[in-house]
Amino acid sequence: MSAESPTAERAELPAERGVFGRMAAGTAHSIRLLCGSKSGMFGLFILVFFTLVAIFGPWIAPQDPAASSSYSSQILTAPSSAHLLGTEENGRDVLSLLILGTRISMIVGISAALVSAVIGGIIGISAGFFGGWIDNGLTAVDDWFLVIPFLPLAIVLVSLLGPRAGDLPFGKLSIVILVIGVTGWAGTSRIIRSQVLSVKERMFVERSQALGASTFWVLRKQILPNVLPLIFANTVLIIALSILAESTLSFLGLGDITHPSWGTMLDTANESGAVSAGAWWYFIPPGLCICLLVMGFTLVGYAIEEIINPRLRDRR
């Protein structure tokens, strides 16, 4: 037993605890390790701050940017006591747009990362566990998505699917989420496949198969618990990439202007001439928020990777 990795030890806990019991025990242990990581705690502080802003944004924003009363003749005015971050090209309060844009940017990033994690997890587990022609076919698809540049593919897909946005619940925002998620799963699939190839060769999996356990039981009880921590850690990192992807697409004019995000703020700032006019209060705050939020998810993601892979901690 001493030669088994910590992940393998968790997989051999009593069966009655189930997947969620193991996850709860592992989560408590991971939180204790996360508290000992300075970079992880700093990233977590950033995430908690932006999460609170996203949740309570409508109540703490000085005004509602969607209301007709928010428009004024004070166009691109500098920060003042009336408008702490100045106004934009329509006279609306930039701070209000920044606060409410936090929710949209986080929703898109988290939702797209979840779509990517589900697709990548299913394909990675299937390819690694079943092998043979299933592995060859899924790996070929994985290789194709890894080779194709993300941005040109995303631009083409958003442009093609944009006219159908009216049929979806959140309009074009749903298209952006689906495109980022569907085009960003390949890295997750490759990582999960490698882990499954290792796990399925371990003694406890071979023992269960020899005793007649069904394929579904082995996947649910022994393979999934061992790859879930890795999926979670990779998903946190993908959230950062998804936020950057949404900001890029929105800056290129492919975002949903009815749901303002930090990316759409950068786009409208550029289109309105705020950059050339030196209206720094319009484009620097959203850019800074994007950098901080991406850094927060990245720091937490790397901290989680160190938790599930002790060899990374030993290298520090």
pLDDT tens digits along 228-261: 888 888 898 899 999 999 999 988 888 877 788 8
Contacts 24+ apart (CB under 8 A), 263-270: 263/105, 263/290, 264/101, 265/88, 265/94, 265/97, 265/98, 265/101, 268/88, 268/89, 269/88
Task: Evaluate if residue 25 carries a pLDDT over 80.
Answer: no
Summary count for the chain: helices (H), strands (E): 15, 0
Q: Which residues form the domain of 41?
A: 36-67+80-314
Q: Is residue 14 part of a domain?
A: no
Q: Is residue 20 part of a domain?
A: no
Q: What pTM was estimated for this model as a whole?
A: 0.81
For 250, the token pair is 């929105």
pLDDT tens for 183-208 read 888 888 998 999 898 888 888 888 88
Q: Is residue 129 part of a domain?
A: yes
Identify the band that residue 28 occupies on the pLDDT scale cut at 50, 70 and 90.
low
Task: Evaluate if residue 3 carries a pLDDT over 80.
Answer: no
* Overall domain count for the chain: 1
The CATH number linked to 202 is: 1.10.3720.10
Q: Is residue 289 part of a domain?
A: yes
Query: In 131-223, which residue ranges form alpha helices assigned H by DSSP?
Result: 132-147, 150-161, 172-183, 186-199, 203-210, 215-218
Q: Is residue 165 part of a domain?
A: yes
State the pLDDT at residue 14.
42
Q: Is residue 22 part of a domain?
A: no
Q: Is residue 61 part of a domain?
A: yes
Q: Is residue 273 part of a domain?
A: yes
Task: Evaluate if residue 308 carries a pLDDT over 60.
Answer: yes
